[in-house]
Amino acid sequence: MAIIERRVFHGKVNSADQLVKLMKEGSKIMEAAGVEPSKTRILTDYLSGRTDRVVWEIEVASLT
């Protein structure tokens, strides 16, 4: 059974690109620490109102 961790970030307008860059770096750090997600997704929503919304999903096989 897979476990999905979802984090939602709301940034200032036009900051989604920077958030995506930081999330990609975070994924590399997690891999270096031994966390091996089976899937990683970064979803962006530039039209969510007064902020840019970025969602980071990580799917892992177990919590161990």
The pLDDT score that the predictor gives to residue 47 is 75
What count of other Cβ atoms lies within 10 Å of the Cβ of residue 58?
A: 20
pLDDT tens by residue, 4-55? 889 999 888 888 889 899 988 888 887 888 776 678 899 988 776 778 889 9
The pLDDT score that the predictor gives to residue 37 is 66
The pLDDT score that the predictor gives to residue 55 is 92
The pLDDT score that the predictor gives to residue 8 is 92
Residue 62 and residue 41: Cα distance in Å, rounded? 17
Residue 27 and residue 35: Cα distance in Å, rounded? 9
Residue 63 and residue 2: Cα distance in Å, rounded? 9
Q: Where are the domains of the chain?
A: 3-60
- Tell me the two tokens of residue 23: 């999330």
The pLDDT score that the predictor gives to residue 61 is 79
The pLDDT score that the predictor gives to residue 54 is 92
